Amino acid sequence: MADRFRLTLAQLNATVGDLAGNAARAREAWDEGRSAGAQMVALPEMFITGYNTQDLVTKPAFHQAAIAEIERLAADCADGPALAIGGPALEGAGLFNAYYILKGGKVTARVLKHHLPNETVFDEKRIYEAGPVGGPYVVDGVRIGSPICEDSWYEDVTETLAETGAEILLVPNGSPYYREKLAVRQTLMVSRVIETGLPLVYLNLVGGQDDQVFDGGTFVLNPGGELMLQMPLMEEAVGHVDFTHTPEGWRAEKGALAHVPDGLEQDYHAMVLALRDYMRKTGFSKVLLGLSGGIDSAIVATVAADALGAGNVRCVMLPSEYTSQASLDDAKTLAENLGCRYDTVPIAEGRAAITNSLAPLFEGTEPGITEENIQSRLRGLLLMAMSNKFGEMLLTTGNKSEVAVGYATIYGDMAGGYNPIKDLYKTRVFDICRWRNANHRGWMKGPGGEVIPPNVIQKPPSAELRADQKDSDTLPDYPTLDGILDILVDQDGSVADCVAAGFRREDAKQVEHLLYISEYKRFQSAPGTRLSKRAFWLDRRYPIVNRWRDPS
């Protein structure tokens, strides 16, 4: 047996449903591994189909086509290293999440996922059958065990692999991002290498898919937990890890350790990557958004410029008589700083026409929130008209605080195709804006420097739908609101928990009430980048009709 084994790790960006395109990426990685003298080239979980497929993979024509694509890959990659790739598998009448080993023109081994995640964004128990816990497969004399993603979160699969002769653990993953996720993964994988005494490769998918972001961050550990290779977060990469056979077994040689950014940068990069991939994978190249002069639309415009380039972003100011001169100035300055197109479309004339049309029906009533929402809905109508005319996807700009309590107008400022900041609380929006003004990275397509005007960050937030309006007129101050929402939403806590944390019961009850009555709005809202474990949509699924309230 040779005393060296080179493994090529392809941390690549798959597209759900693009079977031929994903297979082509796999061939490119295999070619690169062959040129580098690798014995094996590995791709992540379900790479052939893209991930997360949801119910698409249950469609017989789709999973049969995916399996056929893997068989073609085996034939195409016959002369060279083994190729490992994730995809669906059929066993009897069951559908499985599988990992295929291709060598010499055929499928030489197939691993079936045993532990099926059924929480947060995953519903694998309703899609797949659970496979048996098996033993290792052999590549060029090396016995390799591949617990698929969730299988590595439990000790039983890796212990069985070690007991049945595995010498290296290769874990293929489709693990989506949330804050501090890399640290969670590494802590769990250190446990696996300590338990088994085997080196471990954690190979993860990268790229955006609907609301989810797969953040890469592939790494390699030696027994004892020493980090031997760290691939970058949020970026495609192909890396090689060399294993040497020692008297104690196979050990990974030291490789490059990519920089791991702080939490604000990871969140920002996730939003940029998610929007860039959502656009590319749905066939759009340009976006537009309503630029209000406020902080939320400012950060969305900046994310869009960094994701797509300023030339592909249209910013539209839609002023009313309540729009302040400061907002007009700030919006224009932001667009100029970013280099985006800036258009102004006043809404006064359209608003007057709508008001006149409704006047006979509204006679004898007092103006109020209905009239405020007409402004927002008119803006939505005009922005959607531009979206249709120019083929530009409309971005919405509601932060998680507003989305949570319904401080947004359905069919108005909620209209649009994607919302990059949907899972970003208002207080974190401020932090992200300050971070972006102070930092620029090579993966950003927008300009560096202080692109967001300081006044946008400093002024009191306002929807500017009536005279002298401020968000704090109807909501608790954002630090209070976000603190309560963190307990009620992210921690799934109670009103009593909010009170114990130092918040007023009246504020907690108000926020709870707004949270529940706004469910119908969120049900109809645009998808947006998932940044936490309790993002609205798949992580937190509540009924629209719900009369229960916390009695505490």
Tell me: the pLDDT tens digits for 412-439? 999 999 999 999 999 999 999 999 999 9
CB crowding 434-448: b at 16 or more within 10 Å, else e: ebbbeeeeeebbbee
The answer to whether the beta carbons of residues 534 and 489 sit under 8 Å apart is yes
Averaged pLDDT score across all residues of the chain: 96
Whether 8 has a pLDDT exceeding 80, the answer reads yes
**pLDDT score recorded for residue 469:** 75
Compute, in degrees rounded to 10, the torsion defined by CA atoms 205, 173, 233, 255: -110
Question: How far is Cα 477 from Cα 38, in angstroms, rounded to an integer?
Answer: 57
**pLDDT score recorded for residue 473:** 78
Q: Does residue 522 sit in helix, strand or coil?
A: helix
The closest of 24, 29, 22, 102 to 62, measured between CA atoms, is 22
pLDDT tens digit string along 92-109?
999 999 999 999 999 999
Q: Which member of 45, 124, 392, 464 is catalytic? A: 45
Contacts of 262 (CB under 8 A, 6+ apart): none
User: Is residue 113 among the annotated active site residues?
Assistant: yes
Q: Return the residue matching tokens 């003298």.
A: 37
Cα within 13 Å of Cα(227), Cβ side: 16
The answer to whether the beta carbons of residues 339 and 447 sit under 8 Å apart is yes
pLDDT tens digit string along 103-138?
999 999 999 999 999 988 999 999 999 999 999 999
**Percent of the chain with pLDDT strictly greater than 70:** 100
Question: pLDDT band for position 1 (50/70/90)?
Answer: low
Which domains, from first to last, does the chain contain?
4-258 (3.60.110.10), 282-523 (3.40.50.620)
Question: What mean pLDDT comes out for the span 148-172?
Answer: 97
Query: Rg (Cα) of the chain, in Å, rounded?
Result: 26
**pLDDT score recorded for residue 2:** 80
Q: How far is CA 115 from CA 37, 129, 239, in A?
A: 34, 10, 28
Q: Does residue 118 sit in helix, strand or coil?
A: coil
Amino acid at 84: A
Q: How far is CA 360 from CA 99, 347, 355, 363, in A?
A: 67, 21, 9, 5
90, β-bridge pairs: 95
pLDDT tens digit string along 180-203?
999 999 999 999 999 999 999 999
Q: Which member of 69, 103, 124, 149 is catalytic? A: 149
Q: Which member of 103, 113, 400, 521 is catalytic? A: 113
pLDDT tens digit string along 301-332?
999 999 999 999 999 999 998 889 999 999 99
Distance of CA 150 to the CA centre of its chain: 18
Alpha helices in 339-475 (DSSP H): 348-362, 369-390, 400-405, 426-438, 454-458
Q: How far is CA 293 from CA 200, 373, 416, 453, in A?
A: 50, 18, 19, 9
- Residue by residue, DSSP assigns 353-383 as HHHHHHHHHHTT----HHHHHHHHHHHHHHH
**pLDDT score recorded for residue 465:** 75
142, β-bridge pairs: 139
pTM of the model: 0.96
pLDDT tens digit string along 337-396?
999 999 999 999 999 999 999 999 999 999 999 999 999 999 999 999 999 999 999 999
Question: How far is Cα 304 from Cα 473, in angstroms, rounded to an integer?
Answer: 30
Structure tokens at 195: 């338990």
pLDDT tens digit string along 229-280?
999 999 999 999 999 999 999 999 999 999 999 999 999 999 999 999 999 9
Helix crossing, 60-76 with 19-35: angle to 10°? 20
